[in-house]
Amino acid sequence: MSQAASNAALGLSQSPALASGFQFPSIHNFPPFYTLQPTASTWNNQADLWGTIIMRYYRHHRLYQLDLDDSLTNEQLFNNQRINRKLKPEAIQAIVDEMVKKGDAEWDATSQKRRAIIYWRKPEDWAAMISSWVFESGLNNSILTYYEIAHGENSEDQEFYNIHATVLQKTMDVLVKRGVAATFQGANFEEMGVKFFNAGA
Amino acid sequence: MEQLHSQLDTFRANLENFARLHRKDIQKDPVFRMHFQKMCGNIGVDPLASSKGYWGELLGVGDFYYELGIQIIDVCLSTRALNGGLMELTEVKRRVERMRGLRDNNRKGNSTTNQTSGGKWAKANMALISKDTSMEITEDDVLRSIKTLAPLGSGFQVLQLGDKKMVSSVPRELNKDQSVVLALVQKTNGHVNVNTIIERLGWEAGRSKTALDTLLEDSLMWIDQQAEPHEYWVPGFFEPEDDDMYATTSTAEAK
């Protein structure tokens, strides 16, 4: 429910035929869009456009990680069956490289440019969102686990519900750095704890 | 000679009176404006050449073309990323009109969401909408406006390619072969390959390839290497009625 509402608010509401899908801009049907353009200025624009589409697509589907080896998730994004054109992995890498420069994405350092986090929201934004949720829900007096934030009952209706572990960790780093919260080691990632300081409200 | 001078003075005075009298029509009625421009042109007076001077102040035409010029620049620059700064004149006009019309639509949108708040809004909207319906423009207006941009050194110019007028917003000289190829592409659904050119224009392969590659380098064309032979596309000729192609970074991104 809230997903549909927020999509409408983002101007990404769908025509009935595409109710579950994502509406691509028409350049997605432009055959040369799937060839890495050899002219530098054209390539810059092409990379920008792809970056924008990727961000919108990932936000629409609440996706966080772009995985070059997971062809299923990105099936619609990079493979246009209507015009029989496909973006090759090298081209996707080049596009993500450009996104990284702008701070819109980050390669998983261990993945040799096969996996990247797409930041359709910045850790700073998530940090603000999570800390206001904590204070508004009166959860600031106890220690919360990462699991409770990302998958707990209390956060079910929040945008950060099911947030990607890497993004959550980055978000917590921001909060700790700002002195808004402190984290506590847990047995595993989900049992990591976080305590918000009242003064940070 | 003296007689001629006095005749000219009389004529000029009449023209001024006429212009003063019809100032509103000149600004609001595109057909009237065009006739007035032609009349002035016939006697060697160009109200636009002096947009900040005598005629401009008298008529306010300067403001009209100034505003239009800004809108044309806006349209051309916001789409340059894709079309390399070359766009059909009719498309420029359509987008400028939409830009002017958009203001209506936005306000209409507001008026429906604000219906409950009563008549004040509706009235204000009516006033704004009726004002904007008089903002119609003609191709002639666009052409004149582009001419007024020329002294700015912005490189804005109108090129005749085939039977189409194209607005170029990048300082450039298209060579003959490039122009001929762009004219051909209009007839081949916005894309060509070397073979098409050889067949349709009777050129040798080398010459065809050179023309295409230079158009590619000038970012007027995009290449599709997943087609065999490689297909060269002019984005400006690809579904020009679909604006979203150019607008992926606009409103939807706001939140």
When pLDDT is cut at 50, 70 and 90, the band that residue B134 belongs to is: low
Instruction: Determine, for residues B252 and A30 on separate chains, whether the beta-carbon distance falls below 8 Å.
Output: no
When pLDDT is cut at 50, 70 and 90, the band that residue B58 belongs to is: low
From the number of C-beta atoms within 10 Å of its C-beta (0-12, 13-18, 19+), residue B60 rates as middle
Out of A30, A53, A86, the one facing B248 most closely (by C-beta) is A53
Return the CATH number of the domain spanning residue range B1-171. 1.10.10.10
Decide the pairing of beta strands A79-80 and A85-86: antiparallel
State both tokens at B180.
């001929």
User: Which chain B residue shows the shortest CA-CA distance from A85?
Assistant: B226
- Greater model confidence, B73 or B246: B73
Distance (Å) from the alpha carbon of B135 to chain A's nearest alpha carbon: 28
pLDDT of residue B55: 61
Length of chain A: 201
Within this chain, do residues A127 and A113 fall inside the same structural domain, yes or no? no
- Greater model confidence, A167 or A198: A167
Distance (Å) from the alpha carbon of A4 to chain B's nearest alpha carbon: 15
pLDDT of residue A26: 86
pLDDT of residue A11: 34
Range of lowest pLDDT (A60-64, A80-84, B132-136, B242-246):
B242-246
Range of lowest pLDDT (A84-98, B29-43, B224-238):
B29-43
Question: Does residue B2 belong to the interface with chain A, where contact is any CB pair within 8 Å?
Answer: no
Within this chain, do residues A10 and A100 fall inside the same structural domain, yes or no? yes
Question: Does residue A178 belong to the interface with chain B, where contact is any CB pair within 8 Å?
Answer: no
Listed residue (B139, B187, B156, B160) closest to B85, CA to CA: B156
Question: Does residue A125 belong to the interface with chain B, where contact is any CB pair within 8 Å?
Answer: no
pLDDT of residue B207: 96
Distance (Å) from the alpha carbon of A191 to chain B's nearest alpha carbon: 32
pLDDT of residue B56: 59
Within this chain, do residues A73 and A150 fall inside the same structural domain, yes or no? no
- In sequence order, the 6+-apart residues with CB closer than 8 A to the CB of B111 are B121, B122, B125
Return the domain boundaries, chain B: 1-171, 173-255
Torsion angle of alpha carbons B33, B35, B36, B40, nearest 10°? 140
Instruction: Determine, for residues B248 and A52 on separate chains, whether the beta-carbon distance falls below 8 Å.
Output: yes
Cβ-based contacts of B238 with chain A (< 8 Å): 26, 30
CA–CA distance, B23 with B56 (Å, rounded to integer): 11
pLDDT of residue A102: 94
Instruction: Determine, for residues B231 and A32 on separate chains, whether the beta-carbon distance falls below 8 Å.
Output: yes
State both tokens at A11.
């101007």
Q: What is the mean pLDDT of residues B40-53?
A: 61
Give the structural domain span for A17: 2-118
CATH number at residue A107: 1.10.10.570
pLDDT of residue B161: 86
Question: Does residue A21 belong to the interface with chain B, where contact is any CB pair within 8 Å?
Answer: no
Is the pLDDT at B11 greater than 90? The verdict is no
CA–CA distance, A183 with A175 (Å, rounded to integer): 9
Return the CATH number of the domain spanning residue range B173-255. 1.10.10.10
When pLDDT is cut at 50, 70 and 90, the band that residue B65 belongs to is: confident
Within this chain, do residues A42 and A91 fall inside the same structural domain, yes or no? yes
Q: What is the mean pLDDT of residues B235-255?
A: 49
Range of lowest pLDDT (B115-119, B195-199, B211-215):
B115-119
Q: Of A83, A98, A118, at which residue does a domain stop?
A: A118
Cβ-based contacts of B248 with chain A (< 8 Å): 25, 27, 49, 52-53, 56
Is the pLDDT at B116 greater than 60? The verdict is no
Is the pLDDT at A8 greater than 60? The verdict is no
When pLDDT is cut at 50, 70 and 90, the band that residue A73 belongs to is: confident
In this chain, the answer to whether the domains covering B1-171 and B173-255 adopt an identical fold is yes
How many domains are there within chain A? 2
User: Which chain B residue shows the shortest CA-CA distance from A55?
Assistant: B253
Q: pTM, whole model, 2 decimals?
A: 0.72
Within this chain, do residues A84 and A105 fall inside the same structural domain, yes or no? yes
Within this chain, do residues A140 and A176 fall inside the same structural domain, yes or no? yes
State both tokens at A79.
């493979």
Average pLDDT, chain B: 75
Question: Does residue B193 belong to the interface with chain A, where contact is any CB pair within 8 Å?
Answer: no
Range of lowest pLDDT (A29-33, A189-193, B178-182, B192-196):
A189-193
Within this chain, do residues A100 and A163 fall inside the same structural domain, yes or no? no
Is the pLDDT at B169 greater than 70? The verdict is yes
Q: Of A83, A118, A153, at which residue does a domain stop?
A: A118
Is the pLDDT at A149 greater than 50? The verdict is yes
When pLDDT is cut at 50, 70 and 90, the band that residue B245 belongs to is: very low
HEC profile of chain B: CHHHHHHHHHHHHHHHHHHHHCHHHHHHCHHHHHHHHHHHHHCCCCCCCCCCCHHHHHHCHHHHHHHHHHHHHHHHHHHHHHHCCEEEHHHHHHHHHHHHHHHHHHHHHHHHHCHHHCHHHHHHHHHHHHHHHHHCCCHHHHHHHHHHHHHHCCCCEEEEECCEEEEECCCCCCCHHHHHHHHHHHHCCCEECHHHHHHHHCCCHHHHHHHHHHHHHCCCCEEECCCCCCEEECHHHCCCCCHHHHCCCCHHHCC
CA–CA distance, B78 with B85 (Å, rounded to integer): 9
Torsion angle of alpha carbons A28, B167, B181, B78, nearest 10°? -20
Is the pLDDT at B60 greater than 70? The verdict is no
Cβ-based contacts of B223 with chain A (< 8 Å): 32, 35, 37-38
Highest mean pLDDT among A91-95, B9-13, B25-29, B54-58: A91-95
Question: Does residue B176 belong to the interface with chain A, where contact is any CB pair within 8 Å?
Answer: no
Window 23-82 of A, Cβ < 8 Å to B: 25-27, 29-35, 37-39, 41-42, 45-46, 48-49, 52-53, 56
Q: Of A75, A91, A118, at which residue does a domain stop?
A: A118
When pLDDT is cut at 50, 70 and 90, the band that residue B20 belongs to is: confident
Within this chain, do residues A92 and A165 fall inside the same structural domain, yes or no? no
CA–CA distance, A165 with A7 (Å, rounded to integer): 23
CATH number at residue A160: 1.10.10.10
Question: Does residue B172 belong to the interface with chain A, where contact is any CB pair within 8 Å?
Answer: no
pLDDT of residue B193: 96
State both tokens at A68.
């070059």
Within this chain, do residues A151 and A96 fall inside the same structural domain, yes or no? no
pLDDT of residue B61: 61
- Greater model confidence, B56 or B197: B197
Instruction: Determine the 3-state secondary structure of A193 from DSSP.
Output: strand
Within this chain, do residues A144 and A80 fall inside the same structural domain, yes or no? no
Listed residue (B37, B237, B76, B220) closest to B158, CA to CA: B76
When pLDDT is cut at 50, 70 and 90, the band that residue B121 belongs to is: very low
Window 213-252 of B, Cβ < 8 Å to A: 216-219, 222-227, 231, 233, 235, 238-239, 242, 244-245, 247-249, 251-252
Within this chain, do residues A100 and A9 fall inside the same structural domain, yes or no? yes
Within this chain, do residues A101 and A182 fall inside the same structural domain, yes or no? no
Cite the DSSP H helix spans in chain A. 2-9, 40-60, 75-78, 89-101, 123-136, 146-151, 165-177
